[in-house]
Amino acid sequence: MPVTLVWVTGSPAAGKSTACALLRSRGELAVDADWEGYNHWFDRASGQVVTGPPYPVPPGWLDRYAWKISPPQVAALAAASRGRTTFLFGSVENEVEVWDHFDLVICLVIDDQTLRDRLRDRTNNHFGKHPEELAAALRWNPGNEAAYRGFGAVIIDGTRPPEEVASAVLAAAGTAGAI
d(CA 59, CA 48): 20
Residues 6+ apart with CB under 8 A from 60: none
- Judged against a pLDDT cut of 80, whether residue 3 lies above it is answered with no
pLDDT confidence bin for 66, thresholds 50/70/90: very high
Share of the chain above pLDDT 70, in %: 96
Q: Which domains does the chain have, with CATH numbers?
A: 5-38+70-173 (3.40.50.300)
Please give the pLDDT value at position 2: 62
pLDDT confidence bin for 83, thresholds 50/70/90: confident
pLDDT tens by residue, 10-33: 999 999 999 999 999 999 999 999
Please give the pLDDT value at position 178: 42
pLDDT tens by residue, 94-134: 999 999 999 999 999 999 999 999 999 988 878 888 888 89
Q: What are phi and psi of 154, to 5 degrees?
A: -80, 130
- Judged against a pLDDT cut of 80, whether residue 169 lies above it is answered with yes
**Count of CA atoms in the C-beta half-sphere (13 A) of 145:** 10
What one-letter code names the amino acid at 53? P
Name the residue with higher pLDDT: 82 or 84: 84
